[in-house]
Structure 1
Amino acid sequence: MSHPPQAAKFKPSMDIALLGPDLADPVQPADFPQTLLRFRNDRWADMVGLGDLDDAQWLAHFGRFTPLPGSLPEPLALRYHGHQFRNYNPDIGDGRGFLFAQLRDEGGRLLDLGTKGSGQTPYSRFGDGRLTLKGGVREILATEMLEALGVNTSKTFSLIETGEALERHDEPSPTRGSVLVRLSHSHIRIGTFQRAAFEDNRALLERLVDYALTQLYDETPGAHPAAQLLGRVVERTADLAASYMIAGFVHGVLNSDNINVTGESFDYGPWRFTPLWDERFTAAYFDREGLYAFGRQAEAIHWDVAQLAISLRPIIDAPPLIAQLERFPMLYADALVRRFCWRLGVVSSGQGTALVEAAVRAMVASGTAIDRFFLDWRGGRPRDPDAYGGEDWSAFRDLAAPCVAAGPNAHPYWADPDPCSMHIDEVEAIWSAIDASDDWGPLHAKVAAIRRMGQALGCTPPLP
């Protein structure tokens, strides 16, 4: 979902029913004291045929969860397992969210509307099933920034304040509550397959493989559908890992239950953007070993995909799965170059890997911020040669010289004095304005600025 599809009429779907009753539990949404509309993604609502909803209808569907006509008659809390910081946990599932609806875009692609903070489910354990308003605001900022930077990400579709006061141990409490709706290309996770394998449910594994290939990848299953699916997941997740790096993004919780089999990033908790190219930078205070640090994200995602391969073993022999897994490092390296050149706005001269490595060495040695580098070097030439004339940049200057600009850089964003960034101090300032005086102006201004940068960057290159 890197780019919006063409404007579409609302096309409801219920294809999740193909997977049978073993996948999920029907649940009821929480009955919130209030529903105050704080954010509606009109850009994507228009693209999926829901832009004509007035605010009252919007609140009814995405705050009270009145079913969308023709889609799911009741919400479904999905069942899954997962490795959390490499420890297997069979006691998880949708604990504060559910699948609310499915629909198809104009091109026929199946999409989900899922929730976060919509109340308790059988998998809530000791949680209240709620989402703080701050958490919802942070998810808006994460998804908007990642979409602009070309990352395949879920979209924050709606944020509604619920009038509840929530207690949390990691932020000042009581704090305001919210319910979020995300638009995504499926909520089928690696952990969904892990659960089916753990329970020795071969029939569900086979249905999951068929569903993923036919409904999510629009492919006809071949002679070895499980290996075919794993190959697609390897391709998409290698590209995802590379896109995180070029965006300077740290997801923070790359557990196997947070990796979607479409390679789409989703579920943003302790995320951060690192100002500098610091491979040890972590987003989560509880990631004490740096398992999901900035520079270890490709390793983490590859490890998770290996757990998918293990989960598929009941229905296929190991050799074709191993062959697919072994493609990941080269695909990741290729994606890193492709996405680097896209953000830089150049066509590589054929030394793409050396170009990326030289840029990283120069950024580290000089202490140049990632966003500053990409703004200043747009088109492969520095806007201020004197600022990049030192020895630190010598190798990169030589490698960038034969690169050709990929296209015109006429968008006014490229003349801005400073890059559009999303670092923690600005996130906190945006939240502070809301928390202290209910001022939503800084949030809306930031979303507009991010979308302007996205327009300047343009469409990401397709997977080869």
Structure 2
Amino acid sequence: MPVSPEYRPDPRFSDLGPEFGDSVAPADFPETILRIRNDRAAATVGLATLTDAEWIAHFGRFQPLPGQPGPIAMRYHGHQFRTYNPDLGDGRGFLAAQLREIPGAQAASDRVASGSAQPESRLLDLGTKGSGTTPWSRSGDGRLTLKGGVREVLAAAMLEAQGVPTCRILSLIETGEDLERGDEPSPTRSAVMVRLQHSHIRFGTFQRAAFFGRKDQIETLVEHVRGLYHPAVAEGDAPGLLTAIVAASARLTARWVAAGFVHGVLNTDNLNVTGESFDYGPWRWLPFYDPAFTAAYFDQSGLYAFARQPEAVFWNLTQLAGCLKLVADVEPLTEALNGFGPAYIRELRAAFLERLGVRSLGEAADQRLMDTTLALLREKGEAIRWEPLFHDWFAGFSSSARALAGPRAKDWQGKAFDAFRFALFEHEPDRPERLEDPVFARPDPEELRIDEVETIWASIDTADDWSPLSEKLVRLEATRTARSPS
């Protein structure tokens, strides 16, 4: 069966002109073995009706979907660990398609992250990773390891389950090539991945235009991004657009922190204008509360450590603001940037309330709950991991009997716990009927620690056994639906 009648192609990136991207050809892979097919995500854009053969043709061989112009490698620059690199761009991926979301299909995590429902029929991108070389590949082979693809599938699923704005991995296809990599055992298996997200326009897209002094390109980008992704901003209002991007970035960062997530590589080419996380490399979830915890072995200075993520995102926003100086005055841009700190704190309070499943009681009480939650995690250290606290005490007072009879009952005592419990019980549970879901009858929550990821990969690598991955994804989906704000 072809695409459904609800499929609505709307390729808009080409409106920017040829200086923003290059038409490219996908790699011709020796094999195309379908490993992951995300029909829930595909259904939101009218693609769940594709047969497996059609799926492989479009997402393994990259035959253009109806009404799509074909692959475009996007041009951008970026700061990598705060060193400017003008030699970036889509080096192993491309924009495969743009299409409209089916009305009413917006992901619940996206609605909550924005604080309210977004306009229906959002424009969404299909972007690839591992699809072959492009003019921006430099010395790279344009490929993706199968292990890397599996890790991205897991990261996106876990973040979505936690209510964090994220891309969704639509497809993972094994491609039959042996890849050499210097930082992992080689040769290793290869794959091509397709992600679905709101936008692939990065801060680095603006940086490239500014690098060449192209005021006209900055003006074009401002109007393109404003009109498609932040339509509430007035036409030509670059500071207003920056304000909207600052707000989206603050929401995203707050939800990373509330999830205990460490992105690992917060370069300007890894942040986009719609405030979604994507392009998961050396990510980690906190094993326990540790502000200095880093995800990347090469982050020797801790630049992107867990507690420094707000600082990193703000620094990247200042680079975006610097680009907009070509078309706007400094004072309103500075005012927009100064909104990040207050917005981040507001969003962090809201994220902690959401994760604990309770309603707001006002700024002072909400701040007290967030502070006591962090103090409890800090005091318990390695005794209590991040995720179990939010599992045991979801919906506050309504979980008392469950938490105090569970496997961590002995840990729920002491002065820090008493302060946390007092602050939590001030707040009314938010839809406590969610506790009836079987997920909350389990003694432990779903986590995504690195040893589990390695175990899942070992089953695939040594025995071609995909069942541990499939079972993990089923459990993460159960967690998402159990906690869903919708």
Same fold (TM over 0.5): yes
CA–CA separation in structure 1 for the residues paired with 2:361 and 2:126: 42
Tell me the equivalent position of 1:25: 22
- Counterpart contact for 1:275–1:371, Cα < 8 Å: no
How far apart are residue 8 of structure 1 and its match? 7.7
- Counterpart contact for 2:178–2:189, Cα < 8 Å: yes
Tell me the equivalent position of 2:327: 315
How far apart are residue 228 of structure 1 and its match? 1.1
Match of 2:186 among 153, 173, 185: 173
Tell me the equivalent position of 2:444: 418
CA–CA separation in structure 2 for the residues paired with 1:113 and 1:335: 28
CA–CA separation in structure 2 for the residues paired with 1:363 and 1:132: 36
- Counterpart contact for 2:262–2:305, Cα < 8 Å: yes
What are the Cα deviations for residues 381-404 of structure 1, in whole angstroms up to 9, with x where unaligned? 343345312223122122122111
Q: TM-score, normalised by structure 1?
A: 0.95
CA–CA separation in structure 1 for the residues paired with 2:403 and 2:122: 44
Match of 2:87 among 91, 95, 105: 91
Tell me the equivalent position of 2:107: none
Match of 1:288 among 290, 300, 316: 300
Tell me the equivalent position of 1:81: 77
What are the Cα deviations for residues 363-419 of structure 1, in whole angstroms up to 9, with x where unaligned? 111121111100111111343345312223122122122111011222121111111
What are the Cα deviations for residues 329-365 of structure 1, in whole angstroms up to 9, with x where unaligned? 1110011110111110111333111211111111111
Specify the SS of the correspondent of 2:96.
strand
Aligned length: 452
1:457 equivalent to 2:483? Answer yes
CA–CA separation in structure 2 for the residues paired with 1:55 and 1:218: 37
Aligned CA RMSD, in angstroms, stands at: 1.3
Output the amino acid matched with 2:370.
V
CA–CA separation in structure 2 for the residues paired with 1:179 and 1:327: 39
Distance 1:246 1:101, change over 3 A: same
What are the Cα deviations for residues 252-310 of structure 1, in whole angstroms up to 9, with x where unaligned? 00000100011111000111111212111110000000000111101100110111000
CA–CA separation in structure 1 for the residues paired with 2:426 and 2:42: 43
Specify the SS of the correspondent of 1:94.
coil
Tell me the equivalent position of 2:111: none
1:139 equivalent to 2:158? Answer no
How far apart are residue 459 of structure 1 and its match? 2.3
Tell me the equivalent position of 1:302: 314
What are the Cα deviations for residues 68-91 of structure 1, in whole angstroms up to 9, with x where unaligned? 11012x211111000100111111
Tell me the equivalent position of 1:59: 56
Output the amino acid matched with 1:49.
G
- Counterpart contact for 2:78–2:203, Cα < 8 Å: yes
Tell me the equivalent position of 1:391: 415
Answer with 184-193 or 350-359: which moved more.
Answer: 350-359
How far apart are residue 112 of structure 1 and its match? 0.6
Match of 1:123 among 136, 143, 150: 136
What are the Cα deviations for residues 400-452 of structure 1, in whole angstroms up to 9, with x where unaligned? 22111011222121111111100101100100000010000000100000010
Distance 1:318 1:132, change over 3 A: same
Tell me the equivalent position of 1:438: 464
Identity across matched positions, percent: 52
Tell me the equivalent position of 1:340: 352
What are the Cα deviations for residues 150-192 of structure 1, in whole angstroms up to 9, with x where unaligned? 1111110100000000000111100000000011111100000
CA–CA separation in structure 2 for the residues paired with 1:221 and 1:210: 9
1:101 equivalent to 2:125? Answer no
Output the amino acid matched with 1:451.
E
CA–CA separation in structure 2 for the residues paired with 1:340 and 1:410: 21
- Counterpart contact for 1:240–1:263, Cα < 8 Å: yes
Tell me the equivalent position of 2:203: 190
CA–CA separation in structure 2 for the residues paired with 1:105 and 1:402: 39
Output the amino acid matched with 2:483.
L
CA–CA separation in structure 2 for the residues paired with 1:355 and 1:219: 33
Alignment of 1:222-371 (within 5 A): 222=235, 225-350=237-362, 351-367=365-381, 368-371=384-387
- Counterpart contact for 2:74–2:94, Cα < 8 Å: yes
What are the Cα deviations for residues 121-169 of structure 1, in whole angstroms up to 9, with x where unaligned? 1111111000000000000000011111111111101000000000001
What are the Cα deviations for residues 205-230 of structure 1, in whole angstroms up to 9, with x where unaligned? 111111111112233534x5111110
1:400 equivalent to 2:414? Answer no
Specify the SS of the correspondent of 1:157.
strand
CA–CA separation in structure 2 for the residues paired with 1:78 and 1:401: 50
Specify the SS of the correspondent of 1:398.
helix
- Counterpart contact for 1:210–1:221, Cα < 8 Å: no
Output the amino acid matched with 1:234.
V
Specify the SS of the correspondent of 1:285.
coil
Output the amino acid matched with 1:401.
F
- For structure 1, the 5+ residue unaligned runs are 1-6
- Counterpart contact for 1:8–1:46, Cα < 8 Å: no
- Counterpart contact for 1:8–1:48, Cα < 8 Å: no
- Counterpart contact for 2:233–2:240, Cα < 8 Å: no
- Counterpart contact for 2:179–2:189, Cα < 8 Å: yes
Specify the SS of the correspondent of 1:61.
helix
What are the Cα deviations for residues 34-54 of structure 1, in whole angstroms up to 9, with x where unaligned? 000000110011111011100
Tell me the equivalent position of 1:3: none
CA–CA separation in structure 2 for the residues paired with 1:441 and 1:8: 33
CA–CA separation in structure 2 for the residues paired with 1:241 and 1:84: 18
Alignment of 1:155-170 (within 5 A): 155-170=168-183
- Counterpart contact for 2:130–2:144, Cα < 8 Å: yes
- Counterpart contact for 2:233–2:241, Cα < 8 Å: no
CA–CA separation in structure 2 for the residues paired with 1:142 and 1:227: 33
Answer with 77-86 or 103-112: which moved more.
Answer: 103-112
Q: TM-score, normalised by structure 2?
A: 0.91
